[in-house]
Amino acid sequence: MTQSTKVVLRSTVLHRGAAWILHPVVTVLERLRIDPNWVTGFSAVFALGVGYALWMGSWWAAVLLLAANGICDVVDGELARLLDASGSRKMYLKQMGYILDGLIDRIADLFIFTGLIMRTIRMYPADGFEERVLVFGLVIALGSHIISSYLRATLEKHGHTFKKQQRPLTRAGFHVAVIVVCLCTRYVQYDELTVFFWVSLFTVCALTVYVLVKRMIEAYKIFSALDTS
């Protein structure tokens, strides 16, 4: 195994598999000296497309664009590692990339959540209890996700890190939940409100709230350890 391959492979099984599949793409981009920040920017464009496709009810377009967003999310990180390992990337680009990657991820998730909320309002105007619950649940999920991301970024800024597996699995789980929403809403209809649409949205909401609670517990443990040290 070459040194560049070792750099590409990440610590989680999920990203190891994705990086292995996308390794030829990453290698070509490295040889072309394409800066990872450009790839990160394209991921935001795809995420905007996902949000718009969800809003318009173009479910297959949303799934494909979401896949493209996920590919960019993997490629930009692996490309940055290769260029950083070879020393061919300027320091200011490395620092900019670190900030830009986290910022674009949050913006991308905001686009996707907004698309889900707008589609829910469009499908089920908020004139009944069930419809209000759907919209309220998605707003809670969006708020939980933003707070969770801010908490993570704040602690990492001060030198505290969460488990390596947490972010990739969480983001992958969120993407899977969105895909389930798309497919179930496209193919499974039950009276006025799709049962599976409810289940899928509940999964998205529960996932984001669970991660927020888990990170708050980990933050409490970190500060408790500092207090006793």
pLDDT at 6: 43
* Confidence (pLDDT) at 8: 38
Domain definitions of the chain by residue range: 3-228
Query: CA 68, CA 173: separation in Å to the nearest integer?
Result: 16
The sign one gets for the Cα dihedral 102, 105, 109, 110 is: positive
Identify the sign of the CA torsion 79, 81, 86, 88: positive
Structural contact between residues 73 and 18, judged by C-beta atoms closer than 8 angstroms: no
- For residue 168, the one-letter residue type is P
Q: What is the pLDDT along the chain (229 residues), one digit of tens a residue?
A: 444 444 334 445 555 666 667 777 778 887 877 888 888 889 889 999 998 998 888 888 988 998 898 888 888 888 888 776 666 666 666 667 777 777 787 788 788 878 877 877 777 665 666 666 767 777 777 777 777 776 776 676 666 665 544 444 456 666 776 776 666 666 655 454 456 566 666 777 777 777 778 877 877 777 777 666 5
Please write down the long-range contacts of 222-225, taking CB distance under 8 Å and 24 or more positions apart.
222/155, 222/160
Architecture field, domain 3-228:
Up-down Bundle (1.20)
**∠ CA(112), CA(117), CA(49), 5° rounding?**
30
Residue 173 tokens, joined? 């789980």
- Res 108: pLDDT: 83
